Chain A
Amino acid sequence: MDHEPTDADLLKQFAQGKTDALGALAERYESSLLGVARGLLGAGREDLARDAVQDCWMRVIRHAGRFRGDSAVHTWIYRILVNRCLEKRDAEGRAAKNAASAGSNASNQDSHDPSSLALSEDLGQQVARAVETLPESMRVVLILCYHRGLTHQQSAEVLNIPLGTLKTRLYNALARLRESLTPEKIP
C-alpha cells in the first residue's frame, strides 16, 4: 500500500535533487498561496500576487536543504508568502502608500456614510474595499483566518502569535469591518 508522501518528505526529496517533488508540493499549495496573495495584496493586483508566490517558491527552492523542521512545511511556506506579500506592499513605495492611505481615508469616510455607497456595488466589492482600509495587522489576520486552507491554530503559527492573540485581533478586525460597511448590507 503506497502512502502519500508528507510535505516534509517532498521537501526532502526536492533537496536531494528530485524536481518533481517540488511540483507535487506546488500542486498541493500553489493555488491556495495565490489566493492568500491576492487577498493580502488586494484585488486587481494579479501580477503582484503571482510575483509574490514566485518569490515564495524561490525562497523555498533556495532553502529547501536547510529546512530544519521546526514548524510544519506548509506553515513555513505560508509564512514566507506573507512576508513576501508584505515586502511587495512596502516596495510600492511610500508615495504610493500615502496615496493609498488617502484613498483609504476617503473610503473610510464614505463607508461611514451609508448614502455614499454606490447602490450598484455588491457586498463582495464593498467587503474587499473595506478590508483594504483595515490596518495591516488586522487585514493579514482576517485574510489568513478566512482562508479555507488554514485553521486558526495554523494561522497563529504562521504569524507566530498565540492563538488567543489571533482571536482577539480577528474579533477586532471583524468589528472594524462591520463598522466600515453599510449597516443595511450587513446581514
Chain B
Amino acid sequence: MNEPTTDDRPTFDDPLGSHLAALSEPGNEPATIWREALTKSHGASKPRVDRSSGKRLLTWNSRTLPVAAILLFVVSVMILPQLGKPRGTAHSKVGMDYAANETMSEKSKPETQFAMGAARDSKPAASFAALPPPPPPDPSALSITPDAATRQVIRKATIELATKDVPTAFAKTSLLINESLGEFIERSSLRGRTPFDTSEIVLRVSASRLGSVLTQLREFGTVTSESAGGDDVTDRVVDLEARLRNERRIESELLKLLDSRPNSPLEDVLKLRAELSRVRLGIEQLDGQKQQLSRAVSLATVLVLIRADGVSVQPTPPNAGLGEYFNRTMSKSWTSGVKGLADSVSMFLENLLAGLVWWILLLIVGVFGIALLKRAYRAAASEPAPRL
C-alpha cells in the first residue's frame, strides 16, 4: 500500500481531531464489496475491460442513432439508385459490335446477344427465330399511338461467320437482298491477301425478313458470334406526328388568313407569306424525319462479318474430349470474368465520381465521429474532480 507521508498529516491527538478522524475510520471488516462489484459488473470473474468499448457504444446509441439514420438516408437515397445504372449501361454496350448506323447505338431495349466464343455451332439453340416478328414495314403504321400493340422498332443484328471460302460466302451474302422490296447493300468490303481473309457487309433488309435472312446466313459458314438488338422509336414517331399535325394546322390557318384578306397591305401579305414559308419548311423537315424513321423501321440492318476459317478461330472437333471441353469452358469463364471485372470497375468508378460530394461528406462525418468516440473513450477513464 502506498503509505502517505506523515509530514502534513493533521493531528489526531486532540479530542476534536480524533472524533473527526473517527468519522472516516476504516473498519475491520474483510474486503468483500469489490467482489460484489465484480459480479455485478459482468457476472463473471474476468475484468470488464475487453467489453467496455462495446458497452460504450451501447451507451452512445442515443447520440449515434440520429447520425446513423442520416447516413442511412444518404446512402439509400443518393447512392443506391446509382448502383444499377452503370451495370445497365455497361451491359447495353457489350452487345454493340459496331456503330455503322447512327440509329443503332442510341437505345437497345429489346436486345439479345449470343456469345459463341470458340464454339462452332452452326445451329444455335436460341436463334433469332425466337424473337417476336418485326412489325410490317407499313408507313401508315407510323400514325399508331404508343398505346397500340404495334411498336416502332429499328432492328439490327450482327453475325460473324467463319468459312473456308470467304469470297463465295461474300457473294452469297450479297445475293440475299431483294431489291424489289427496297432492300440494298449499305456497305461491303473484302480485305486481306488473295484469297481474301475477311469481308464485311452491311445489309439493309426488310424487317419482316430479318429472321429468314439470318437463317440463310448461318448456312454460309460457322457462326462464331451473333447478336441482335432493337431501338424502340415509338415515342419519337408519336412526337413527330404531333408536331407535324400542329404545323399543318398552322399552315391551313395562315392560308385561310391570306385568302380572307385579299385587300390587305402588301407589307402584311409579305409577312404572312414569310411566316407561311417558315411553317412549310418545318413541315418538310418533320416529314423528312418521319420518312427517315419509317425507312429505318422498315429496313433492318445486318452487319455480316466473314472470316477465313482458321484465321482467328480454331475449329472444334465434332467429338471433342473432356480436355477440350475444359479448355473451352475455361476460356469462356475467363472472358466472362474479365468482362465482369471491367463492369465492376466501371460501376465502382462511376459511383465514386457520381457521389464524390457525398463520399467526402461521409468521410468528414466519419472522421469527426471517430474523433468524438476516441475523445469520449479517453475521457471515460479520467474521473472528473468532485464539484464542490
Report chain A residues within 8 Å CB of B378. 66, 68
Given the complex, which residues of B lie within 8 Å of A73, measured CB to CB? Answer: 2
Asked whether any CB of chain A lies closer than 8 Å to the CB of B386, the reply is yes
Please indicate the chain B residues that have their CB under 8 angstroms from the CB of A76 in the complex: 383
Q: 1/0 contact trace for B34-45 toward A, CB 8 Å?
A: 111110110001
- Expressed in whole angstroms, the minimum distance between the Cβ of B287 and any Cβ of chain A is 82
Q: Is A83 part of the contact surface with B, judged by Cβ < 8 Å?
A: yes
Q: Given the known A-B contacts A57-B33, A64-B49, are A149 and B26 also in contact in the complex, defined by CB atoms under 8 Å?
A: yes
For A23, what are the chain B residues with a Cβ–Cβ distance below 8 Å? 31, 34-35
Q: Which residues of A contact B27 (CB under 8 A)?
A: 31, 34-35
Q: Is the interface of B mostly helix, strand, loop or mixed?
A: loop
- Interface size class of chain B, counting residues whose CB lies under 8 Å from the partner chain: 35 or more
Contact, CB under 8 Å: A63 / B45 = no
Contact with B along A156-187 (1 / 0, CB 8 A): 00111100000000100010011001000011
Decide: B55 and A36 in contact? CB cutoff 8 A.
no
Structural contact, B25 and A35, CB atoms closer than 8 A: yes
Q: Does A61 contact B (CB under 8 A)?
A: yes
Q: Of A19, A30, A36, A151, which one neighbours B5 at CB under 8 angstroms?
A: A151
Give, as a whole number of angstroms, the nearest-CB distance from A71 to chain B: 9
Q: A54-B36, A137-B388 are in contact. List 13 more A-B contacts (CB 8 A).
A: A22-B34, A35-B24, A35-B27, A36-B24, A62-B55, A64-B48, A82-B386, A123-B16, A131-B20, A148-B21, A151-B7, A152-B9, A153-B4
Q: How far is the CB of A96 from chain B (nearest CB, A)?
A: 19
Residue B102 at the A interface, CB < 8 A? no
Q: Is the CB of A186 within 8 A of B16?
A: yes
Leading 10 A-B pairs by shortest Cβ distance: A65-B49, A160-B385, A66-B381, A39-B24, A57-B37, A26-B34, A30-B31, A137-B388, A31-B26, A146-B20
Contact A57 B34 (CB under 8 A): yes
Given contacts A131-B23, A151-B5, contact A61 B37 (CB under 8 A): yes
Closest B residue to A28 by CB, please name it: B1
From B2, B7, B23, A6 is in contact (CB under 8 Å) with B2
Kindly list chain B residues whose C-beta atoms are within 8 Å of the C-beta of A64: 47-49
Give residues in B with beta carbon < 8 Å to A. 1-2, 4-10, 12, 14-17, 19-29, 31-38, 40-41, 45-50, 52, 55, 377-378, 380-388
Contacts of A86 in B (CB 8 A): 386-387
B4–A39 touching, CB < 8 Å: no
Question: What CA separation (Å) do A143 and B15 show in the bound complex?
Answer: 15
Contacts of A6 on B, CB cut-off 8 Å?
2
Known: A26-B31, A27-B31, A151-B4. A38 touches B24 (CB 8 A): yes
Choose from A17, A35, A70 the contact partner of B26 (Cβ within 8 Å).
Answer: A35
Give the contacting residue for B52; candidates A38, A63, A127, A187; CB below 8 A. A63
Interface check A112, CB cutoff 8 A: no
